[in-house]
Amino acid sequence: MTMTADAAPASARMPARESEYRPRHPVDIARAVLFQRRGRNDPTMVADGPVIWRASRTPEGIATLAMRPVGGGAVRAAAWGPGAEWALGQLPALCGADDRPERFDPGAHPLVAEAHRRNPALRLGRTGILFDSLVCAIIEQKVTGMQAFAAWRRLVTWFGERAPGPTPIPMFAPPPIEGWRGIPSWGFHRAGLEPPQARTIVEAARVGRSLVRAVGEGSDGEAVERVLTSVRGVGVWTAAETRIRALGDPDAVSVGDYHLAHEVGYALAGRRTDDAGMLELLSPWAGQRQRVIRLIGASGVREPRRGPRLHPEDHRSR
């Protein structure tokens, strides 16, 4: 179990390492980085005015990264903890430095073209931390965002590790892979997870290091999907959500999402559609379909809500 929220880690007194990232293109840092936040009370990410704080468990240990935009489009950052150097090195990718929007032709639909014109600083960032993104996606299977964000917050706070540095509020890094495997069944239950989700997290943690090794730099989306869906309980939706967050995959589409096909159908065709129809509508942008989905989100076009909402169910008293 992690230390209590008011117990500051010894590494909080470590000096910060600092760096500055000067992108070659305009970057909306808030949009690129805060996309990774899982709800407003995510213990791993805090927006404090212009400064974004992120706690993570890097391959070199936990780290806290604080970043803010400065003049000339640069991003100034400071990092604390054993993984500070890794976190600073990952900053450009987190802000979308590996994204290649110049390969994108938005002209197949006027809404997409206009959204692209209005959002020239949109970049798809990536964390480079596969397993945490996989756990997030598993937690979000078949539940409301409110339920998933609350479960993530509880699990990371209870079983993670206090983040180093002068964070504006107590922040926590997720458990290591072995730590996820060691969470007792009652811990998942108290956090609000259904047993199938808990079993999937434990099963993924059992082979977690092999998954991380198998998904190397430059792996294509289909290869990553095959690796991830080899875990029992991980389907194409979970694999796509993981690819989007951890790898910044510009083509990943979360097939099976409760709302996504309806939103894409409404934006591109003026009507609801199913997953097959969504994939057909997105086919002119093969290789860049996630970018189109993000541009649709940035456009502000939304299908009017008519049907019943998916209501959360709290099963913890069972």
Tell whether 149 is covered by a domain.
no
Greatest CA separation for the chain: 56
Give the domain CATH number at 28.
Answer: 3.30.310
DSSP 299: H
What pLDDT is stored for residue 3 in this prediction? 33
In whole angstroms, give the CA distance from residue 298 to residue 296: 5
Residue 118 has pLDDT above 60, yes or no: yes
Q: In the predicted model, what is the mean pLDDT of residues 205-223?
A: 87
Residue 145 has pLDDT above 50, yes or no: yes
Tell whether 273 is covered by a domain.
no
Tell whether 15 is covered by a domain.
yes
DSSP assignment of 29-70: HHHHHHTT--STT-TTEEEETTEEEEEEEETTEEEEEEEEE-
What pLDDT is stored for residue 217 in this prediction? 64
Q: What is the CA radius of gyration of the chain?
A: 19
Span 1-50, pLDDT tens digits: 333 334 445 555 668 999 999 998 888 999 999 999 999 999 999 999 99
Residue 220 has pLDDT above 90, yes or no: no
What pLDDT is stored for residue 298 in this prediction? 94
b/e map 247-277, b = 16+ CB within 10 Å: bbbbbbbbbebeebbbbbbbbbeeebbebeb
What pLDDT is stored for residue 6 in this prediction? 43
Q: In the predicted model, what is the mean pLDDT of residues 135-144?
A: 94
Q: In the predicted model, what is the mean pLDDT of residues 146-157?
A: 96
Tell whether 267 is covered by a domain.
no
What pLDDT is stored for residue 311 in this prediction? 53
Tell whether 90 is covered by a domain.
yes
Helices 236-247 and 130-139 cross at an angle (nearest 10°) of 140
pLDDT-derived band at 313 (thresholds 50, 70, 90) equals low
DSSP 102: G
What pLDDT is stored for residue 53 in this prediction? 98
Residue 80 has pLDDT above 90, yes or no: yes
What pLDDT is stored for residue 2 in this prediction? 36
What pLDDT is stored for residue 142 in this prediction? 85
State how many domains the chain has.
1
Tell whether 73 is covered by a domain.
yes
What pLDDT is stored for residue 105 in this prediction? 95
Tell whether 307 is covered by a domain.
no
Query: In this predicted model, which residue has the larger pLDDT, 182 or 25?
Result: 182
Tell whether 221 is covered by a domain.
no
What pLDDT is stored for residue 258 in this prediction? 87
Residue 74 has pLDDT above 60, yes or no: yes
Residue 256 has pLDDT above 70, yes or no: yes
The pTM score is 0.90
Q: In the predicted model, what is the mean pLDDT of residues 56-72?
A: 95
Span 88-111, pLDDT tens digits: 999 999 999 999 988 899 999 999
What pLDDT is stored for residue 172 in this prediction? 98
Parent domain of 22: 10-118
